[in-house]
Amino acid sequence: MADTPSKLTHLNAAGQPAMVDVGAKAVTRRVARARSRVLVGADILRLVQHGDLPTRKGPVFQTAILAGIMAAKKTSDLIPLCHPMGLDDCQVHIRVYEPDTIVIECVASVTGKTGVEMEALTGASVAALTVYDMCKALSHNIIIQETRLLSKTGGKQDFHYSDDE
């Protein structure tokens, strides 16, 4: 990993966990985009795609979208050293790719002193977990294959994922 920092920012001088002090940082517009892939199999994909999967918990995609947004808003409650923040916006988008894949993207944004990549990653992850939860009655052979940061902007260093990496 070429971009590995030489110093972990969440450890103090004694090597103990510590929250990063962002007090002196400038307020900027920060946006992060993350993706999770869920392999569900062709039969489940067909049912979910056409709305033919009856669940007691509601429609699969709409429920996953809401779960992803709710999770992004609660990231600092889940990840110990994340700063609490009021997101300006959070969007979760779901696309299907034949024959068996659901792709979930979460975009989080804030005008603030710290980035929102953890919020975007949490939103995409929890939306994927929600798809699993709602479809597991049909099969446990569902794979949450990948969760990754696609981009982040507005901080001291922007990041854009490239398939070449």
Task: Look at residue 3 in the predicted model and tell me its pLDDT.
Answer: 54
Active site residues: 133
The CATH code for residues 28-155 is: 3.30.70.640
Counting as low any pLDDT under 70, the low residues of the chain are: 1-6, 52, 54, 164-165
For residue 136 the two structure tokens come to 């597991």
Task: Look at residue 164 in the predicted model and tell me its pLDDT.
Answer: 59
Q: Where along the chain do its domains lie? A: 28-155
Task: Look at residue 14 in the predicted model and tell me its pLDDT.
Answer: 84
> What is the signed CA dihedral for 78, 91, 158, 145, rounded to 10 degrees?
70
H or E element: which one contains 112?
A: strand 101-112
Of 19, 164, 9, residue with least CA distance to 81: 19
Q: Coil, strand, or helix at residue 32? A: strand
Q: Coil, strand, or helix at residue 77? A: helix
